[in-house]
């Protein structure tokens, strides 16, 4: 299923800046950055639970926030993109 992960981490303190880097690093392990604090992740149920748990452990819920949007398997018709940075095929070939 396609999951959109968004986050807002308070970076006023050095600890907050560290949390921001840690959250971004975890998200990169699971998906593609599409905007500064937004990742598109193609996950199965177990991966979804794992990434959600890892990210919850990293943030400070008093100052930071996480949002998970589960778009499901038929997500192609649910995304409209306008502007630069064209989308990518989450199920297609990824060359590094």
For the chain, 96 residues long, give each residue's pLDDT as a single digit of tens: 899 999 999 999 999 999 999 999 999 999 999 889 999 999 999 999 999 999 999 999 999 999 999 987 766 666 666 677 665 555 555 445
H runs (alpha helix) in 2-75: 14-30, 45-58
Residues near 96 by beta carbon (within 8 Å), at least 6 away in sequence: none
Token readout for 13 is 């303190």
Per-residue burial over 66-86, b = 16 or more CB atoms within 10 Å of its CB, e = otherwise: beeeebeeebeeeeeeeeeee
Number of residues that make up the chain = 96
């Amino acid at each position: 299923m396609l999951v959109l992960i968004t986050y807002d981490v308070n970076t006023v303190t050095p600890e907050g800046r560290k949390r921001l880097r840690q959250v971004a690093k975890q998200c990169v392990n699971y998906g593609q950055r599409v905007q500064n604090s937004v990742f598109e992740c193609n996950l199965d149920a177990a991966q979804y639970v794992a990434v959600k748990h890892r990210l919850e452990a990293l943030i400070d819920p008093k100052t930071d926030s996480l949002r998970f949007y589960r778009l499901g398997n038929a997500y192609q018709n649910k995304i409209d993109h306008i502007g630069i940075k064209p989308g990518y095929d989450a199920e297609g070939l990824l060359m590094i």
